[in-house]
Chains A and B, each alone.
Chain A
Amino acid sequence: MKNIKLKIARIENDISQEQLAEQVGVTRQTIGMIETGKFNPSINLCIAICKALHKTLNDLFWEEDNNENKHIDR
């Protein structure tokens, strides 16, 4: 599943994949693969990305489930 939230947050912060990769200590390919959903990062890498983009884990990596929303609404 594509991680659009990560891509949007990165663009909002006006940084390239390469810059983000450098900040969190991975290769540019890894950031690209996380954004396209080809690689599931560890929780440590998720936290590093969140810190670099000034976001929370929920903002970038939490997928809202329709059933869950219905449950919360009730």
Chain B
Amino acid sequence: MKINISTDERVKSEIQKIAGNAYYVVMGLLLVSFLVEMVVFDSFRYFFAEWVIFLIGCIYFGVGCMLKGHWDLISKPGIKSYLLYSVISSAIFTTVFSVINYLKWTPPTGEGTIKYFFMIFLIMFIFLFCLMFAAMFISGSIVKGRQKKLEDQYDDSEEN
């Protein structure tokens, strides 16, 4: 008597849960490895392949969620969440990127050095913030559109 494991919803759901956790572990470790490699190596080409894999994973996850009409578990798509996520992500990325580059950089001695570095930090932050906000706005609009489409598709108000 053999049971087809693929029909067992418990087994499927447990495997999917484990695979989901494995995805987060791999993405987290890849992110950590980038940070280490950015400090250790001088050139981006040393970890280009991993970066591409990481991006493909992120794009697959992002597009998958967008097409199903999911935003996240704690907020709804809107200006408030776009602003919040843009500020947080830009601040984290700019800080990490600046600290790593500052550690590798040999600054010229002088009074304007810190000011110059701070200016680059600020410009990068503003640029990333605008980029993130635009990306959030576009993806949020797509998510809202998908949610509306799904609501309309399964709406029973006309039947009643």
Give chain A's interface residues, CB within 8 Å of chain B: 18, 21-22, 25-30, 33, 39, 41-42, 45
The answer for the CA separation of A27 and B1 in the assembled complex, in Å, is 11
Is B73 interfacial (CB-CB < 8 Å)? no
**Category for how many chain B residues contact A:** under 10
Q: What are 21 pairs between A and B in contact, CB < 8 Å?
A: A18-B1, A21-B3, A22-B3, A25-B4, A25-B7, A26-B3, A26-B8, A26-B9, A26-B10, A26-B11, A27-B3, A27-B8, A27-B10, A29-B10, A30-B8, A30-B11, A33-B10, A39-B10, A41-B9, A41-B10, A45-B9
B contact patch SS: helix
- List 8 A-B pairs, minimum CB-CB distance, nearest first: A26-B8, A25-B7, A30-B10, A27-B8, A39-B10, A27-B3, A22-B1, A30-B8
Chain B hits for A39, CB < 8 A: 10
Chain A hits for B4, CB < 8 A: 25
Chain A hits for B103, CB < 8 A: none
**Structural contact, B11 and A27, CB atoms closer than 8 A:** yes
